[in-house]
Amino acid sequence: MAETIKDKEKEQVVETLKFTPQKVQISVHGYGAEICCGSLTKEQHDFWTDEENSEYLQSHMFGYGDEPEGGIPEDAVICEDGQYFEVDDLYHDCVPFEGATVTIEDVATGKEIDEYDLSWDNNNQLLESIEKETGEYPDEEKVGLMVRGEETDCAYDSMKNGHYAYICSQSNERGSYHTGEITLTRPYKRGDIQFTYSEINERDYVINGGCTYLGEHQEDIEMVGDSTGKGYDCFIEKNWEHPDNKA
């Protein structure tokens, strides 16, 4: 087995030396969302989580025009005229969800080189194929279709922000999220190009802006946010690290 692995490694080195650098176009498209998380005071939290008022929360955040009977007290107002995207001091990004599709095309010919979903199943299949080829299960931090990014959990803030509660608003969308060109320096293998992901509030896995090729960050892969809205959603939750919420 060891000799076979060494032979394959030698073949890969030879292939790389013979390889002519190839420019490719990368795009990521599918379902995603503009996600905004913002701080709330106790007064805002208590008003909008009250059973009589909670049904009007989306209307308030997204500007539908309906509001609770008696109006909204000044200290409970979260945003004006549906400007939900301004309530974003804790998190704000427009990103695809886990499961979005990445397409890789040769720039010179327009020929598709690869297309796959950024999914856990595809990630596991790649790791298993490497294990079958090499006899060793690979380090998931170094090889894979996705590598872990930073987690954002506004419900367990370290108190650096000190918010009593937070609201998370989402404009759910479908379209393109990343695009750009990079130059391959060796024959393409799935797993050479990686996208980082983040877990948002233990609810959504998103593919964030980080893209690497052979471990190097690629500045030319940019977020584009060319998408069509598919609906809105929002929820409120306490920051359980706040002293007043630990009682």
With CA atoms as reference, report the closest residue to 95 among 21, 161, 47, 31: 31
- The alpha carbon of 88 is separated from its chain's Cα centroid by a whole number of angstroms, namely 16
Residue 76 located in a structural domain: yes
93 is in which domain, residue-wise?
A: 2-7+20-245
Residue 37 located in a structural domain: yes
Residue 196 located in a structural domain: yes
Residue 143 located in a structural domain: yes
Residue 12 located in a structural domain: no
Residue 15 located in a structural domain: no
Q: What is the pLDDT along the chain (247 residues), one digit of tens a residue?
A: 445 556 556 666 656 668 899 999 999 999 999 999 999 999 999 999 999 999 999 999 999 999 999 999 999 999 999 999 999 999 999 899 999 999 999 999 999 999 999 999 998 998 898 888 888 888 877 777 888 788 899 999 877 889 999 999 999 999 988 889 999 999 999 889 998 899 999 999 999 877 899 989 888 887 776 778 789 999 999 999 999 998 6
When divided into structural domains, the chain yields a total of 1
Residue 14 located in a structural domain: no
Q: What is the pTM (predicted TM-score) of this model? A: 0.85
Residue 13 located in a structural domain: no
